[in-house]
Structure 1
Amino acid sequence: KGGKPKNSNRFTPPSGVFVIDQVAIGGSSKAHQSRVSMPITEPSNGAIIGVITVELEAAAFF
Structure 2
Amino acid sequence: MDELKKKLSKNLEESQAMIEKLIRNLNDKSEINNDIDSLNEVVHNLKSELVKLKDLNSIEEE
- Normalised by the length of structure 1, the TM-score is 0.18
- Normalised by the length of structure 2, the TM-score is 0.18
Higher strand share: 1
Higher helix share: 2
Determine which structure has greater relative contact order: mean sequence separation of CA pairs < 8 Å that are 6+ residues apart, divided by chain length: 1
